[in-house]
Each structure stands twice: as C-alpha cells, then as structure tokens.
C-alpha cells in the first residue's frame, strides 16, 4: 500500500521533515515555484497536513484538499486553523499540548521577573559603563503583590504553581470557575484587573479573545500595574497598550508575543519600562524537539488506525475510522 500523501505548508525543524519523509509521501508547498499550481496538481491526493503555528489553514485551503483527514499543528495554539470548519468537514486537528507547558511557564516567570526588576535595563546600565556614575534606580517588586492570570489552562496552572513559591497572592479569570484550585476567581477580566498588580496573559488566541486586554482593562490595572503576555499578540489591543505605557496608565509590560509578528512597533521598543522577546516561550532545543515529535506521532498514529494522539476540542476523536 502506498504511503499517505502529506503536505507541508512551511518549513519545519529538519528532524520533523526527515521523520515525515521516512513515514509518508511528503510534499512541500514552500519549495514550489508556483504554489497554487502545485496545490492544484497534488491537492486531491493530500490526506494530511503538517503545519506550524503561523501557517493559516482556512476553508479555502480545505476546499482544495478534498481528501484531507488530519491537520497536525506544531504548537499549543491553533488560532490560525479554522478548527470549527475542519470539524464540520470531518477533519481532525491536533496540536502539541503538555510538552511545552513547563517551558513556557519557566519563560513567563523569567519575563515577569525581568520586567518587574528591570533586569535587561540593569544589564545595559552596567555594560554601558554607567555604574561608576551612579547606582541603577530602584525598581518595582513582587513583595505584597497579587498576580492575576488570564486563562488558567495547562500553562496557566504551571505558572501558578511556580508563583506559589514566590509567596504572592494569585487570582484568575477564565470562562468558568475551577473548583480544584485555591486561587481567587473573578467572573470578568475587568474585575481581575482591578484586583491585581500584575496581569499574566495566557489565554488562547482567536476571534473570541481578540483585543480583550483593552484600554479599560489597562486603566483598571493602574499606574503600578504590569502586563505580561506569553499567549498571543492578538489578545492585547497593542495601540491601547502603547498609549497606556506612554501616559503612565500602567507601569510596564513584558511581551513575548505581538500583533504583527515578527514586526514590533517602534513605539514599544522605545519605551524604557518594557521587556520584549521574539516569541521564544517554548524555544529550547529540548521542548521544540518534543513538540516536533508529537506532530509526527499524531500523523503516524492516525494513519496506522489508532486515532490522533492530541486532538483539539473542536475535533474530538470518537473512535471512528
């Protein structure tokens, strides 16, 4: 029996592409001279997609892949995939949860500390030879502060567990109260922002959460407030954030994600109380290898008749073949 045809939209890690080539008939759209013509040629044969977090999979693409069975996505977020449309068509969508939760949580705590204590700014103060002329200014603190978490999913819980060791109060907002955690629950994001000093954004991206951290939320966070975002840039109204930072409406921000990656507004880079990272939340050799392996495992498991390993909520696996 011939190997199933798999389409790769954009390049992925070499180890992932090698594993896919070994198990399937792999087609790469990123190397095609005319991607549209190539898609017209091979589209009817494609049964699986391997995609990274920034490769859009929408209705138009699915219509060109009439025999598509599964989309295996690299990353925990899958807001660039129309999972509801996939579910309507009977297409399974998988992501790579759990294997990156601890890595992202570690990075989130590092970004939080770097922003509160201005660690990059202090590093520059020393490197630029300014220490002999004066000590680095005193910074904000975690002492006596409450940290609010927007989105208490796998990563949010991993962050909360780490925060417990810092002796800070923890609160959260999500779609529902979670009875098995000891943290204070707030039924609205605005109420959470009013109650905390630092707001950690870890909720999923997508239309439902687009721009939910808006001017009103930032105003509620207040002049001592700090925003940390390790989720998706789409959750934060970037223009409102820039205005709030410039006006002193909030104290600072630590961002690993942006609205139009990899392009970052110059206004954000110019601000002194920001720490900006190039979307590196899961960016360790160890974790990216585990994520890539799960992309391959989902495809191998599916085409061996065992079903997907990590299907997303919109396309649950019922055991059908």
Which is nearest to 70 in space by CA: 294, 311, 319? 311
Q: Which residue has the tokens 């940290």?
A: 147
Active-site residue (options: 18, 164, 261, 286) = 261
Confirm whether 103 is a catalytic residue: no
Active-site residue (options: 27, 232, 251, 288) = 232
Strands (E), 212-306: 226-229, 252-255, 274-276
CB atoms inside a 10 Å sphere around CB 176: 8
Confirm whether 10 is a catalytic residue: no
Per DSSP, the three-state class of 280 is coil
296 close to 73: Cβ distance less than 8 angstroms: no
Helix (H) or strand (E) holding 126: helix 119-127
User: For residue 226, what are the contacts with CB-CB under 8 A and spacing of at least 6?
Assistant: 112, 115, 116, 140, 197, 198, 199, 250, 251, 252, 253, 254
- How far from 277 is each of 100, 154, 176, 179, CA to CA, in Å? 17, 22, 30, 34
Confirm whether 273 is a catalytic residue: no
Active-site residue (options: 125, 154, 273, 279) = 279
CA dihedral defined by 265, 270, 275, 280, rounded to 10 degrees? Answer: 40
Please give the positions annotated as active site.
Answer: 232, 261, 279
């Amino acid at each position: 029996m011939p190997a199933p045809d798999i389409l790769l939209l954009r390049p992925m890690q070499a180890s992932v592409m090698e594993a896919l080539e070994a198990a399937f008939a792999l087609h790469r759209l990123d190397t095609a001279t005319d991607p549209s013509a190539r898609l017209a040629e091979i589209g009817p044969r494609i049964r699986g997609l391997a995609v990274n977090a920034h490769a859009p999979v929408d209705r138009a693409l699915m219509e060109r892949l009439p025999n598509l069975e599964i989309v295996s996505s690299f990353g925990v977020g899958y807001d660039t995939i129309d999972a509801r449309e996939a579910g309507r068509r009977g297409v399974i969508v998988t992501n790579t949860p759990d294997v990156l939760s601890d890595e992202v949580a570690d990075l989130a705590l590092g970004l939080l500390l770097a922003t509160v204590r201005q660690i990059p700014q202090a590093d520059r103060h020393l490197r630029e030879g300014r220490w002999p002329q004066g000590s680095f200014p005193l910074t904000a603190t975690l002492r006596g502060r409450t940290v609010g978490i927007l989105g208490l999913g796998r990563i949010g819980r991993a962050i909360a567990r780490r925060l417990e060791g810092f002796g800070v109060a923890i609160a959260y907002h999500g779609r529902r109260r979670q009875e098995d955690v000891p943290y204070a629950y707030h039924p609205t994001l605005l109420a959470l922002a009013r109650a905390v000093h630092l707001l950690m954004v870890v909720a999923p991206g997508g239309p439902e959460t687009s721009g939910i951290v808006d001017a009103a939320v930032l105003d509620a966070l207040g002049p001592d407030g700090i925003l940390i975002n390790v989720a998706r840039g789409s959750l934060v109204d970037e223009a409102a954030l820039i205005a709030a930072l410039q006006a002193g409406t909030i104290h600072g921000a630590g961002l690993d994600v942006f609205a139009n990656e990899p392009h970052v507004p110059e206004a954000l880079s110019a601000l002194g109380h920001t720490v900006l990272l190039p979307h590196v939340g899961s960016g360790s050799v160890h974790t990216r290898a585990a994520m890539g392996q799960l992309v391959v495992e989902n495809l191998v498991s599916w085409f061996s008749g065992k079903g997907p390993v990590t299907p997303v909520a919109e396309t649950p696996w019922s055991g059908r073949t």
